Amino acid sequence: MEKRFDTTLLEEMLSASMRPLLIGHFNPDGDSVGSLAGMYHYLRERGMTPSAVLPSPYPDYLAFLIGEDTPVTIHSHEDNSARELISSADLLICFDFNRLSRTEQLEEDILASKVPKVLIDHHPFPEVEYFDLVYSEIEVSSSCELLFWVLMSMSDVEGDVSSLGLKCAESLYVGMMTDTNNFYNSVSASTFEMASLLTDAGVDKTRLQECVYNNYSVDRMRLMGHLLKDCLYVIEDCGVAYLLLSDADKRLYNFAIGDSEGFVNLPLSIKGIRISALFSELDKGQDKYIRVSLRSKGDLDVNRFASLYCNGGGHLNAAGGRLYMPFEKVGPYIEKSFREFLKIG
């Protein structure tokens, strides 16, 4: 249950560092923001002054983890501050991604940096060659859980959860909670143990659930209703169901970043459905593509499907990718692809 890690090298790197920089992935989710914020607060508790960057904005429902006391620099085309932070840092710690390309426009800057690099991640096949120290476990629920057990192994923590500080503890809890879809997938004994230790140490799980899951707009609720009623497609003989979220519908329902969170899981509650997908049209000038999210049950490998048909990857039961085609072609393309992938009809 309890996991132990060798933290000798990490502790050496941290004590040698004056300007550590924490980096999350593009389209940051709860796990990426949670692990970044968790490490941030842990280092602050120890008198260090870390910085943090994200390649793109985070959803509103995570704002409570990143208050004024956790300054995070968000990269944008117009502003070079994230790039400057990368070039001036003396240690880079990356969270919740296995490929540097997940940092999008910051990838080049990270590659150009010659300082020690650490990766803390739970996706398969991480690009270990770019890092000096890698904590990678794919059996673990989330990067937050992995970071939790790494921190618990640190010589200044030695298994004492209260020494992490409440903000660190809350951040790690939120990342684990969101990546497991509120304890629904990828949960093992060590995940429950982590949750139990964190709640014992004062984490208010009800408050965190309220902040994350009961904080949506009316528009988001109506958009979900519209999607389920008018934009849900079922390929019955394949056990596949998918949702098509167009840019026009997003505009109609005042879509905000994070509003489609959880939508992809909805079709999985239909009897007989074992794979679900969400295709979300993005139409922002030059960044025009269709964002793909995939979920599956059992041994159906959507990581493989994403890499074969959707220019992406992820985990066995949760993956993502991108399609470059007119939105109206997605339905026929995906039905054909699933038939080929599952060898049906």
CA distance 1 to 195: 12
Q: How far is the CB of 95 from Mn ion (least distance, A)?
A: 9
Kindly identify the residues of this chain, within the stretch 169-198, that bind Mn ion according to CB under 5 A.
179
CB atoms near residue 261 (< 10 Å): 20
Cβ-based nearer residue to Mn ion, 93 or 240: 93
Cβ-based nearer residue to Mn ion, 142 or 260: 142
Residue recorded with tokens 């849900």:
232
Q: How far is the CB of 221 from Mn ion (least distance, A)?
A: 26
Task: Give the residue nearest to Mn ion (CB).
Answer: 31
Contact map string, positions 21 to 50, toward Mn ion, x by CB under 5 A: ----------x-------------------
Q: How far is the CB of 101 from Mn ion (least distance, A)?
A: 16
Cβ-based nearer residue to Mn ion, 192 or 325: 192
Contact 50, 21 (CB under 8 A): yes
Q: How far is the CB of 152 from Mn ion (least distance, A)?
A: 19
Cβ-based nearer residue to Mn ion, 33 or 273: 33
Cβ-based nearer residue to Mn ion, 185 or 217: 185
Q: How far is the CB of 179 from Mn ion (least distance, A)?
A: 5
Contact 55, 103 (CB under 8 A): yes
Task: Residue 94: name the closest of 26, 42, 181, 140 by CA.
Answer: 26
Kindly identify the residues of this chain, within the stretch 123-152, that bind Mn ion according to CB under 5 A.
142-143
Kindly identify the residues of this chain, within the stretch 218-277, that bind Mn ion according to CB under 5 A.
none
Q: How far is the CB of 103 from Mn ion (least distance, A)?
A: 15
Contact 174, 195 (CB under 8 A): no
Contact map string, positions 86 to 105, toward Mn ion, x by CB under 5 A: ----------x---------
DSSP lists the bridge partners of residue 133 as: 118
Cβ-based nearer residue to Mn ion, 153 or 186: 186
**Where on the chain is the footprint of Mn ion (CB under 5 A)?**
31, 96, 142-143, 179
